[in-house]
Structure 1
Amino acid sequence: MPIIATAGWSIPKKVAGQFAHEGSGLARYASVFDGVEINSTFYRRHKQATYARWAEAVPDNFRFAIKIPKDITHAQAMRDITPLFKIFLDDIAPLETKRGPLLCQLPPSLAFDPQRFDVAFQEMRNEDDGQLVIEVRHKSWMSSEALELLRKFKIDRVLADPAPVWPAADFDRPARYVRLHGKPRMYYSSYSDDELRANLERLAPDGWCVLDNTASGAAIENALTMLEMDHA
């Protein structure tokens, strides 16, 4: 079964009645969903004790997708990343078997450079062999050379909506990671049932679909609808 999730676990009052009434926000969220995407790691480090507490708050089958810090993807622009990547992996280690994919989101300015990314991806794979997904935002990543490099290191492309680089039609197989940011207004707009159903159909059986239109509270509502569709 695919994992339907949101970016973060904030539950709007409008749908609060559909979740467990007791426990932490995360525990209540996990009473309905099987995974969540942690975005706060992009901006700052968390203590190991924080990850351990999160892991304890959720069921055994729950998974955390984790966004790689911007110090790696933006500040370092994917150069000489081994020391920072090791720190990141050490920080999240308490998640243990509840750790899901690592999300690498590149800045719109970062073009595909075969030499730079061959080195960077090798550095990542030297330290970790778990699922790694990448969301790129520079058109140069549409090249066949870029796709071949991703295959070499077993890195899954993110099917993003809106799609700055790889539209849905560009995927020749179901996507293992879908991120729905909201459109026409990113992070705010809600999706129609038809749009949610279409994205569910594009999702691999072991894939993730993350609703990132959290600014208006639409993410949780959309995710609940998609969960109902998947279980129908």
Structure 2
Amino acid sequence: MKPVLSTSSTKRKTAKSPDAPPPVRVGCAGWSLSGRGLQMFEPVGTHLERYATQFSAAEINSSFHRPHKPETYARWARSVPDDFRFSVKIPKVITHEQRLVNAADTLSVFLSQALHLLPKLGCLLVQLPPKLHYEEQVASPFFDMLRAQYDGPVALEPRHPSWFTGDVNSFLVSHRVARVAADPAPVPEAAVPGGYASPVYYRLHGSPRVYYSSYDTNFLERVCGELQHTESGGERWCIFDNTASGAAVPDALELMRMVRPQNAHT
């Protein structure tokens, strides 16, 4: 079975368009609601339904650790507005255990589940382990296989320095894979988007203490400016992964306030 995603909602532009760019999508890794900012959300409904009253995107990280049933993905899709989108993290079995090798069966099973988010599946996220270096004889078969089954947006978060070269960037462009802009960045090049032009995808993990630290207004204003002035005409995402102490939701709400005037005109 080779499900192939190809819908108008996920078509990408690789150059500037005379049309207004799509809205900036802001969200969190997961949709737990607690502590600061909780008063901004509707008091009734599931956590996801309440979360979706304020945010236009969410990153499903739990798929990295365990599989979800197709009906679970379908239920999540029914719980959010029509313009809401999910990104889904590819399982660690594929990236950290199989290390992109001999992963055909695992990938097919994952896609057969995650595609039940359609039409609200916005992106697949591939996060690589820090010690997984770039080898074309490994990366090329894997992304060829992924592209044979899925035609939508893909964002890659590599962490080994070998992935941040001109040749690798060209490889990512040829496979229509965007490189995540991460904070904290494992190498300086990781702080800015790379690879394919869409999606422009920021993952903010918390700095200086990863997963815990919140971001100050100056940092968020800089990220807002980068998102709004990117030359890509495609999707623009910013996901907050500093969830361990509840900083993600208030940080995301602050960034939403910054991007809202521009989103209102798209």
TM-score tier by shorter-chain length is over 0.9
Quote the sequence identity (%): 42
In structure 2, give the amino acid aligned to 1:100. G
Q: Which runs of 5 or more residues in structure 1 are unaligned?
A: none
Partner SS state of residue 255, structure 2: helix
- Considering Cα pairs closer than 8 Å and 6+ residues apart, tell me whether 1 or 2 has the greater RCO: 2
For 1:25 and 1:180, the matched residues in 2 are separated by 22
Q: 1:207 aligns with which of 236, 253, 264?
A: 236
Query: Structure 1 residue 57: deviation in Å?
Result: 0.9
Instruction: Please list the CA deviations of residues 23-68 of structure 1 after superposition, one character each: whole Å capped at 9, or x if unmatched.
Output: 0000000011011000000000011111111111111111110000
* Matched length: 232
Describe the shift of the 1:53–1:84 C-alpha distance in structure 2 as closer, same or farther (beyond 3 A).
same
Query: Structure 1 residue 168: deviation in Å?
Result: 3.5
For 2:207 and 2:198, the matched residues in 1 are separated by 22
In structure 1, give the amino acid aligned to 2:260. H
* Aligned 8 A contact 2:169 2:194 in 1: no
Alignment partner, residue 190 of structure 1: 214
Instruction: Please list the CA deviations of residues 100-129 of structure 1 after superposition, one character each: whole Å capped at 9, or x if unmatched.
Output: 110000000100001111111101111111
Alignment partner, residue 70 of structure 1: 92
Query: Structure 1 residue 201: deviation in Å?
Result: 1.7
For 2:224 and 2:98, the matched residues in 1 are separated by 35
Deviation above 6 Å: which 4+ runs of structure 1? 172-175
1:178 aligns with 2:202: yes
Describe the shift of the 1:109–1:168 C-alpha distance in structure 2 as closer, same or farther (beyond 3 A).
closer
Describe the shift of the 1:175–1:161 C-alpha distance in structure 2 as closer, same or farther (beyond 3 A).
farther
Query: Structure 1 residue 139: deviation in Å?
Result: 0.6
Q: Which TM-score applies when normalising by structure 2?
A: 0.83
* Aligned 8 A contact 2:156 2:178 in 1: yes
Query: Structure 1 residue 93: deviation in Å?
Result: 2.1
For 2:193 and 2:73, the matched residues in 1 are separated by 36
For 2:25 and 2:59, the matched residues in 1 are separated by 11
For 1:47 and 1:114, the matched residues in 2 are separated by 33
For 2:142 and 2:249, the matched residues in 1 are separated by 34
For 1:195 and 1:24, the matched residues in 2 are separated by 31
1:79 aligns with 2:101: yes
Q: 2:131 aligns with which of 95, 99, 109?
A: 109
For 1:95 and 1:143, the matched residues in 2 are separated by 34
Q: Which runs of 5 or more residues in structure 2 are unaligned?
A: 1-22, 262-266
Query: Structure 1 residue 94: deviation in Å?
Result: 1.7
Query: Structure 1 residue 87: deviation in Å?
Result: 0.5
Q: Which TM-score applies when normalising by structure 1?
A: 0.95
* Aligned 8 A contact 1:159 1:175 in 2: no
